[in-house]
Amino acid sequence: MSEKVELNPVMSTYGRFPITLVKGKGSYVWDKEGKKYLDYSSGIATCNLGHVPDVVEKAVQEQLGHLWHCSNLYHIPSQDKLAQLLVANSCGDQVFFCNSGAEANEAALKIAKKYAKDQFLKEIPQIVTFKNSFHGRTMATLSATGQEKIHQGFTPLTPGFSFLPFNDWDALEQLTSMNPDAVLIELVQGEGGVLPADKEWLKQLAKVCYDQQILLMVDEIQTGMGRTGTLFAYEQYEIEPDVISLAKGLGSGIPIGAIIAKEHVAKAFSPGTHGSTFGGNPIATTAGVATVTELTTTNVLNEANEMAHDIWTGLEKIAAKSNTIKQLRGMGLLIGLELDKPAIDYVNKAREDYQLLVIVAGPNVLRILPPLTTTREEVDQFLAIMKQLFI
Ligand SMILES: *Cc1c(COP(=O)(O)O)cnc(C)c1O
């Protein structure tokens, strides 16, 4: 073996902040020196119930003593239960489970192609996505992503995608004349800068899809699981998607992804067409059951919406007095502050000077993702820090 140079054994796919986190509970995390941080990044919209939520911890710990894995060659009770909960709480009829957001969108793209082939004998299905979108890092999902910088270095891309401008009325005319097989859209572009879809525009887009039998697929990986104030963001847009992709918040931090589809679409998948060894695994789906049960049968969402109201009101006041904040936007507890300065400088200052964790969404947008379980005291603490940072 040749002499090895001293190297971080982890590949550098992420620029990492210089802290090491070893513990979390509720809205707080601790680094290895014992320093405590208010975590308003929630593991990128994943720990929606806060860190190590009791109900999920208890359920997972119990499942750890029973069965970890058995493959999808057998029935899995927690998988059935989670599917049942997702179907009961959405407009969809059947669920496919996988392990991440990118995999959920892969499943959405595959089912759209299979559906186009089965129903309309399409040899080369076409899928429309939007400029500035983010759908994942696998070959198909990065090809579906409407950002040049995500494509760079990875050609040839998966063919069959076209990109239309987001929130653009002319794009709907283009969509009508293109008549693709499916549309995949984020209801709030998360990574792209926390940009919510305009409601009237989205309703019209849904109408074009409905009238022309174009599958409407919503990427709710970041917006789902209560993040925007309802279990799914699509509920607030008064639309009924054919396919919903989920991941991030679904397992409270235990890795899991899923798509929910309407019956006519779901039946495009049959044994042998798609699969995943770990997908719907007993541990992951147990975490999912506990998470969705908490979100749908307790007061968590109502309380989250009260906190969101206070945060928005507080941030509006700060934005009005600040020369740096250009716009406050988002939905529920998915919040973006567009700045006229690099957002990363504020992320670093918040962490170093105030022990507050927030993240960016593109170069000039500060992204704030409080846990849905955040308390009034934490909100006050957060707003006091934001005041220090911006006025
Ligand atoms: C995070 C995210 C993805 C990718 O999810 P991974 O679990 O990182 O693969 C896809 N779409 C949206 C909208 C996301 O926010």
Domain 1-20+31-40+300-337+349-363+380-391 indexed as CATH 3.90.1150.10: yes
Other C-beta atoms closer than 10 Å to the C-beta of 89 total: 15
Query: How many CA atoms does the CB half-sphere of 165 hold within 13 Å?
Result: 7
Ligand 1 touching residue 338 (CB < 6 A): no
Average pLDDT over the chain, rounded to whole? 98
Mutate to test the pocket of ligand 1, among 221, 244, 360 (most ligand atoms within 8 A of CB): 221
C-alpha–C-alpha distance, residues 96 and 82, integer Å = 11
Q: How confident is the model at residue 28 (pLDDT cuts 50, 70, 90)?
A: very high
Give the pLDDT confidence score for residue 278 in this predicted structure: 98
Give the pLDDT confidence score for residue 3 in this predicted structure: 79
Question: Percentage of the chain surpassing pLDDT 70?
Answer: 100
CA of 3 to the centre of ligand 1 (A): 38
pLDDT digits (tens, 9 = 90+) for 65-101: 999 999 999 999 999 999 999 999 999 999 999 999 9
- Stretch (H or E) spanning 170: helix 169-178
Task: Take residue 241 and report the two structure tokens written for it.
Answer: 């998607």
pLDDT digits (tens, 9 = 90+) for 196-234: 999 999 999 999 999 999 999 999 999 999 999 999 999
Give the pLDDT confidence score for residue 2 in this predicted structure: 74
Give the pLDDT confidence score for residue 1 in this predicted structure: 67
pLDDT digits (tens, 9 = 90+) for 302-354: 999 999 999 999 999 999 999 999 999 999 999 999 999 999 999 999 999 99
pLDDT digits (tens, 9 = 90+) for 136-179: 999 999 999 999 999 999 999 999 999 999 999 999 999 999 99
Give the pLDDT confidence score for residue 4 in this predicted structure: 81
- Note the pTM of the prediction, 2 decimals: 0.98
Considering the segment(s) 54-297 as one domain, its CATH architecture is: 3-Layer(aba) Sandwich (3.40)
CA of 168 to the centre of ligand 1 (A): 23
CA of 278 to the centre of ligand 1 (A): 18
pLDDT at 129 over 80: yes
Q: Which long-range contacts (CB under 8 A, 24 or more apart) does 163-168 make?
A: 163/128, 163/129, 163/130, 163/131, 163/133, 164/128, 164/129, 164/130, 164/131, 165/130, 165/131, 166/130, 166/131, 166/132, 166/133, 166/192, 166/195, 166/197, 167/195, 167/197, 167/198, 167/201, 168/201
Ligand 1 touching residue 102 (CB < 6 A): yes
The residue ranges of every structural domain in the chain are: 1-20+31-40+300-337+349-363+380-391, 54-297
Ligand 1 touching residue 247 (CB < 6 A): yes
Which residues are documented as binding site for pyridoxal 5'-phosphate?
A: 101-102, 134, 219-222, 277
CA of 242 to the centre of ligand 1 (A): 19
